[in-house]
Chain A
Amino acid sequence: MASASSEPTAPGRYVSPTVAQSVKILVVGAFGVGKTTLIGSVSEIPPLRTEETMTTAGVGIDPAAGIDGKTTTTVAMDFGRITVSPDIVLYLFGTPGQRRFWDLWEGLAEGAVGVLVLVDTRRLEDSFEVLDQLELRTSMPFAVAVNKFPDAPRHATEPLREALDLLPDTPIVMCDARSRDSSARALITLVEHALKFSNSSKALT
């Protein structure tokens, strides 16, 4: 029977009623680096999008900003969902790299498993800011996933680690964001790192 609702309930929209816990991983990276592609290739629901409006002081970023130096920007977050066990659901929140953007979504970083930083070797410099933020301003475990664009230069892992100035224990994984297996492997690398991280932070206390 046809639903009377203007927006019929899509099958699979809802989380299984057995789920009692939700966890999240942040997928961050510059615009166009493939965050939504990666999320879409592992998510059990088509990626969803929400937007927030932010007013930013134009700090030398946008010369076209108004005379008052303020500009209103819409920032989008794309996300997906994986039911990893009958009682746990994992959300993948894709947000632009800079810390000021993830602060937009209240509590987004708090309690996260970690951060997967997606990098494009054609624009390595785009990832410097987010990596600085993660290393200097947070204590979250993170891993770097290099999205293999067909025309992008191929690098070995070690020169990349040097170019990105990563710490020796930060994992780097090559990935094809279009592939479910490859994207899942990048997430697995991050969670394995988060596990080691939780061991070492325990050892310190």
Chain B
Amino acid sequence: MDELRDDFPDHPVRPYVWTSGRAHPSRNTIRPETLLAVDPDLPFPVSSTRQQRELLDMCRGVLSLAEAAAHLHLPVSLVLVLASDLVDSGHLSIRSALPQFARPDRDLLEKVLNGLRKL
């Protein structure tokens, strides 16, 4: 029975079993700083995994993807896949303006600057 205690060297990396083997998200509109929040009126999806439920539970308030990942002790890349699916299914919503590929405009930069000066 000793063979049974082999530590299978070829085992899949466990987090990616949670994402059904996917390493890439279903959408590219979520970044580490994207703010997410759960729709409190919507029940958890019936077929959700434990990690998806934990993510939804974590997003009862507004949090960035990176913060949710850090609090759940999961890699950002993994939570990105989980969150994308939940946004697609309508359980999680994106609370921040959609990410810009360009840099923030002058107006936004000035607001950030004023905020930093008040620190």
Q: Which A residues lie at the B interface, using CB under 8 A?
A: 5, 7, 9, 13-17, 19-24, 42, 45, 48-53, 77, 79, 81-85, 88-91, 93, 104-108, 110-114, 140-141, 180-181, 184, 187-188, 191-192, 194-195, 198-199
Contact = CB atoms under 8 A, between A and B. Distances in A.
A188 B117 contact: yes
Given A15-B35, A111-B103, A90 B115 contact: yes
Interface of B: 13, 25, 28, 30-35, 57, 60-64, 66-67, 69-71, 74-77, 80, 95-97, 99-106, 108-117, 119
Given A88-B112, A105-B32, A112 B103 contact: yes
29 contacts: A9-B60, A13-B71, A14-B61, A15-B35, A15-B64, A17-B61, A20-B96, A22-B33, A23-B108, A45-B67, A48-B71, A50-B69, A50-B76, A85-B114, A88-B108, A104-B77, A110-B31, A111-B104, A112-B103, A113-B104, A113-B112, A188-B117, A191-B109, A191-B113, A191-B116, A194-B103, A195-B106, A195-B109, A198-B103
Contacts of A106: 25, 28, 31-32, 76-77, 80
Contacts of A180: 119
Contacts of B101: 110-111
Given A49-B70, A79-B66, A187 B116 contact: yes
